[in-house]
Structure 1
Amino acid sequence: MANILDVSTDDNLQYQFFPVSSGSVQFKIRAPNDAHIALTMGPQESDPMYEVFIGGWGNTKSVIRRNRTKPEKVEIETPYILNPGEFRGFWVRWDGGVVSAGREGEAIPFISWADPEPFPVNFVGVCTGWGATGTWKIEDGAEFNTPDKLEYKFGPVAAGSLELEYRGPHNCHICLTPAPGEVDPMYEIILGGWENSQSVIRHCRQKPDKVTVPTPGIMNPNEFKKFLIEWRCGRLTVRDGRSGAVLMEWMDPSPFPVTHFGVRSAYGARGNWRISHFNRGGAQPLAPSAPQASALYSAPPGYPGPGAGYPGAGGGYPGVAPVSGGAGVWVDATSGQVPPGAVVGGQDCSGEPIYVARARHEGALIPGKLCSSHGCAYVPWGGKENAKNEYQVLIGGPSNWVPTNGSNIPPGAFPGGESEDGEPLFVGRVRHEGSLTTGKVQQSHGVCYISFGGQELGFPDYEVLVA
C-alpha cells in the first residue's frame, strides 16, 4: 500500500517540494481551481523547471509551462476539472522528455508535451493560488523491483533519513552518495548478506567493513521487512523500521553531504522495494524543540510586547533599520550563490562554511543560514526548516559574537530582520551536533532558533552578532 502524504496549500502560489525516485507522481486534490505541480532538479523553484497547471483560469483550462515563461508549451480546455467539494485524482509523468498529466484510472493523458532538451526530475512541488486553497493526498512509496544484478538504482534524498521496505531472500543493498551514481565517498549498507546471515556498513566500497553484525534470517522472500536509515553529521544509523531498535551504527570522522540513495539486490537475490521519502512515521524521530506558533510563548517580565516600544526605536517596533555606516549590507542572491565578502557565521558538520543569510517567510524577514552546496538558504519558522531559493546574504558586516542566554540581548546586537508581528529579530548562532549554525534570536521567546535536519530547534544558550 502506498504511503500517503496529506498536504494543505494556501492561496499564495508557494510550492511545497518533496523528492521523487520514479518517473511519476499520483495525487488527489480538492480545490476550486489552480492546482499547480512543479517538476524540478532541486527542492526549490529554479530553472530548468516544468509546471503543470490543472484547472487554471477559473477552472477552465490546463497548461504545461517550462522555466516559468510564456507562451505555454501546450494549452487545452478542461472546464470543471477540479471541484472544491470533492477530491479528484490525477497523475503526472515524465519519461524521456515527455511530460504528461492524466486523470486517475485513465491511461491516456489529457495533456502532454515533449521537451527536446529534457532534464532529470528529482523533486515535485505543489501549490495553489489565484483565489484557491487546496487539500492534497500525495502518494509515495510505489513498489518497484531490482534484478539479480550488482547495479544500483538511484533517487534523491531531501533530509537525513530514508524509510524502506524490502522483500527478498537476502542481499538488500543500499548506498548513500553525494551524486546519483557510484562515486566516492559513499556509504554502503548490506542487510542480510552472506546467504542472509550477517549485515555490514561499508565505506567507499573498501574492506574491512566498518561494522559487521550477525543477522540470521533478517530477510524473508515472502514478507516485506521495514528499515529506517538515518545520517546526521557523520553518524550513520540503521534501525528496525517497526521496533525502532538500532541494528548498526557507525560514526564517520570525515562526513560528506548525502544527496542521493541507491538500491540493488544481487548474489542470487531479486528484490521488491517500497521507498518512502516523506518520513511520515519511522522510529523515534527527533521531536522539534521549537513551538508550532509563537503564541505559545508569553513575553518575559519587564519585556515590552508589540507596539510597546523597542529600546532606541522611538516607540513601537521600528521594523528593520537600514544597515549602513560600514556595518554591512544585505545582498540579494539565489540558488546557493555566495556573494564576495559574505560573512561566515559558522560551519556545517561536513566542514562547509555557513554564511549569515535571511529571507522572507510568512510575512516575516528571518535570519537563517546559507550552506552553498545545498543550493538554497534556510530559515527557522513554525517548527520547520524552510528552504528559500531567493534570499539575502550579509556582506562586510560585523564578526563579533557575544555569548548570552534567554532574553538577555547585549547592547549593539545586530538587527537581522523582524517577525510577522513586527518584533526585531537578531542574528544568533549555536553549536549543535558538530555544527556551528546561524539562526534567529527572538527576544520575547528567550531563545535562538536554528534550522537543522528539517526542523526548527530552539536553544536558550547562544551567541548573538554584535555590531
Structure 2
Amino acid sequence: MANIIDVATEDKLQYQFYPVSSGHVQFKVRAANDAHIALTTGPQESEPIIEIFIGGWGNTKSVIRKNRAKPEVAETETNSILNGGEYRGFWVRWDGGIISAGREGESIPFISWSDPQPFPVGFVGVCTGWGASGSWKIEDGVEFNTPDKLEYVFGPVASGSLEFEYRGPHNCHVSLTSAPAEVDPMYEIILGGWDNTQSVIRHCRQKPDKVTVPTPGLMNPNEFKKFLVEWRCGRLTVRDRVSGDVLMEWVDPAPFPVTHFGIRTAWGARGAWRIKHFATGGEQILPPSAPAAAALFAPPPGYPGGPTPGYPGGPAFGGGQWVDASGGQVPPGAVLGGQDCSGEPLYVIRAQHEGAMLPGKLVASHGCAYVPWGGQEQGKPEYQVLVGGPNNWVSTSGSNVPPGAFPGGESEDGEPLFIGRVRHEGSVTTGKVQQSHGVCYISFGGQELGFPDYEVLMP
C-alpha cells in the first residue's frame, strides 16, 4: 500500500511538508504553472534546501536551485509541461547527491544535477505561486518508520480524515495540529499505550486525559492494525478501520482548524506506518481553461458608467473573474476564502437565489456551494467561482465597508453585496456583507448567521 497524500496549494509561495523515507517521490499535480518541490532535512524552509521548479516562467522552463541562490544549478526548456485542467505525473529522485526529475512513465529525467555537497533528505515540500494554485497527489511508495523517540514527524492534511495502518508493540501516537510542529492547540491520540493496555485522547498535552478506554492487546508487533481518525466541527472520532467500531470519541467545545498531522512512537516501541490521507468527494477534471461567466444581472443602482468591474459584463476587478462551475468543481486559480471546521478549504463563490446574486462558500466535498438567505443555508449545485482574484482581507465591523471593497453581487432589492468572512466554531467561513444591515451573513449548519465583526475582501 502506497502512502498517498492529497494536497491543495494556494497561489502562495509557501511550502507544505511531509516526511519521506526513501530516495524518491512520485506525484501528480494539476496546476497552470510553477509547481515547486523542495527537498529538506526538516519540515521547514531552512538550508540546506534543493528546489525543483517545474513549469516556471509562464510554464516555459524548469530549473533546479540550491539554497535559493542564483544562478540556477540546472535549467531546461519544458514548454507546456503543466496543465491547469488535468493532472500530470512526475517523479523526483535523489541518490548519492544526484538530483533528477522526470515525467511519469519515462525513465530518463528531463532535468538533473549532481550536488557536490549532498545532505540527507527527510522531507519533501510542495507549493505553487506566480498566479497558479495547485492540486497534488503525492506518493512515496514505502512505509513510514518512527524510532523509539518522543518526537512527531508531521505532514499536511487535506480533509477531516486520516486513515492509517500501524505495526508495533504499543504506543502508536497521532497528533492533530494547526502547524507542522508541537504547538497548542493540539489533539493527541495514544493507541495501545501503557504497555498496550489502554488508549486515550489528550488535549494540549494536559492531564487528565479527555477520554480513556481499556484496549488490551490492541497493537501487534507482527501485524498492521488499521485505524481511521475523523474530525469535524470539534467532534474527534477514532475508529477501527476493519470493523468500523468507534474506539474513542470526544467533542471539543472550542475546536480549531486542523492543518497537519504528526506520528511518533516511544516508551520502548518502534513503529511502521502506512498512511493514506484522502479528501472526500470525487475529483472532477476541468478543461484547461474555463469560460467567463455570462451576464446574469444589471449593475446595481448608483454605479455610474454602465457595467462595474467585478460584475458580469464588466472587466475583471482586481484581476478576478467569475467562472461558471457546478457539482463541487473547483476551477484552477480559485480564490481560497477560508476553511471548514473539518479543515477542508472553502472557496469564494456567488450564486443566484430568489432574484439575488449572493456571495457564499464552496464546499467541494459536498458537491455544491452554499449561500445565506432568508435565515437558512441554501445549497446551490450551480454557482460561480472567483478565479485569479485578490486574497486581501481587511477587518472591519458594522456598516463600515471600506471604499473600493470587492463587489460580490446584489440583493433582491438591488443593494450591492460584498464578500466577507468570519471565524465561527473552528471555521473561517465566507459569506455576504450587506452594508444596510451592518453585518456579514454566513451559511453554517443549515442556518443563516449574522456577525457585526468580520473581514471584507479588498482588491
Q: TM-score range by the shorter chain?
A: 0.5 to 0.7
Question: Displacement, 1:419?
Answer: 5.1
Q: Is residue 201 from structure 1 mapped to residue 193 from structure 2 by the alignment?
A: no
1:426 aligns with 2:418: yes
Is the CA contact 2:320–2:387 (under 8 Å) kept in the aligned structure 1? Answer: no
Residues 1:173 and 2:149 aligned together: no
Q: What SS does the corresponding residue of 2:272 show, helix, strand or coil?
A: strand
Residues 5 and 233 of structure 1: is their aligned pair in 2 closer, same or farther, counting only changes over 3 Å?
closer
Distance 1:272 1:82, change over 3 A: same
Contact 2:441–2:450, Cα closer than 8 Å, also in 1: no
Q: Is the 8 A contact 1:122 1:156 kept in 2?
A: no
Residue 111 of structure 1 aligns with an amino acid whose one-letter code is S
1:417-449, CA deviations, whole angstroms, 9 ceiling, x for partnerless residues? 24599x9641445674366x5623299xxxx88
Separation in 2, partners of 1:135, 1:209: 37
Cα shift at 1:111 = 1.1
Alignment partner for residue 405 of structure 2, among 411, 416, 432? 416
Instruction: Please tell me the residue identity of whatever aligns with 2:126.
Output: V
Which residue is 2:18 aligned to? Answer: 20
Identity of aligned residues (%): 53
The answer for the alignment partner of 1:400 in structure 2 is 398
Code of the aligned partner of 1:417: F
1:237 aligned partner, one-letter code? T
- Rounded Cα–Cα distance in structure 2 between residues aligned with 1:8 and 1:183: 22
Q: Which residue of 2 aligns with 1:36?
A: 35
**Counterpart mapping for 1:28-427 below 5 A:** 36-39=35-38, 51-54=51-54, 62-65=62-65, 71-76=71-76, 90-92=90-92, 100-102=100-102, 110-112=111-113, 114=115, 123-125=125-127, 138-139=138-139, 142-147=142-147, 149-159=148-158, 160-177=160-177, 180=180, 182=182, 186-231=186-231, 235-242=235-242, 244-252=244-252, 260-277=260-277, 279-280=278-279, 306-313=296-303, 317-319=307-309, 363=322, 368=337, 379-381=347-349, 382-384=362-364, 391-394=391-394, 399-400=397-398, 416-418=405-407, 425-427=417-419
Measured in 1, the distance between the counterparts of 2:3 and 2:33 equals 25
* Contact kept in structure 2, 1:17 and 1:123, CA below 8 Å: yes
- Alignment partner of 2:301: what SS? coil
What is the Cα deviation at residue 40 of structure 1? 9.0
The aligned counterpart of 1:302 is none
CA RMSD of aligned residues (A): 6.2
Query: 2:18 corresponds to which letter in structure 1?
Result: V
Tell me, in whole angstroms, the C-alpha distance in 2 between the residues paired with 1:192 and 1:38: 36
Change (3 A) 1:432 1:40: farther
Find the aligned partners of 1:429 and 1:62 in 2 and give their Cα distance.
Answer: 37
Match of 1:439 in 2: 430
Alpha-carbon distance in 2 for matches of 1:223, 1:66: 41
Query: Does structure 1 residue 462 correspond to structure 2 residue 450?
Result: yes
- 8 Å contact from structure 1 (residues 13, 128) kept in 2: yes
Aligned-partner Cα distance in 2 for 1:128–1:162 = 31
Letter in 1 for 2:127: G
Cα distance change of structure 1 residues 274 and 16 upon mapping to structure 2, 3 Å threshold: farther
TM-score (norm 1): 0.55
User: What's the counterpart of residue 339 of structure 1?
Assistant: none
**How far apart in 2 are the matches of 1:228 and 1:387?**
34
- Deviations 1:230-280 (CA, angstroms, capped at 9, x unpaired): 445654332334555432223445666655433223445432102234x23
Q: Secondary structure at the match of 1:319?
A: coil
- Tell me by how many angstroms 1:143 deviates: 1.2
The amino acid across from 2:72 in the alignment is E
Partner of 2:374: none
CA 1:89–1:181: 2 relative to 1, 3 Å: closer
| Residue pair 2:27, 2:139 contacting (<8 A) in 1 also | yes
- CA contact under 8 A between 1:363 and 1:419: conserved in structure 2? no
| Residues 124, 99 of structure 1: alpha-carbon distance in 2 compared, 3 angstrom cutoff | farther
Conserved 8 A contact 2:34-2:59: no
Q: Is the 8 A contact 2:74 2:111 kept in 1?
A: no
Q: Distance in 2 between matches of 1:161 and 1:430?
A: 24
> TM-score, with normalisation over the residues of structure 2?
0.56
Paired positions, count: 375
Q: How far did residue 87 of structure 1 move? A: 9.4
Q: Secondary structure at the match of 2:191?
A: strand
Whichever residue aligns with residue 405 of structure 2, its letter is G
For residues 69 and 231 of structure 1, the distance between their equivalents in structure 2, rounded to whole angstroms, comes to: 41
Q: Which runs of 5+ in 2 are unaligned?
A: 282-290, 312-316, 324-333, 350-361, 366-385, 435-439
Residue 310 and residue 233 in structure 1: after superposition, are their counterparts in 2 closer, same or farther (change >3 A)?
A: same
1:230–1:8 CA distance, 2 compared to 1 (3 A): closer
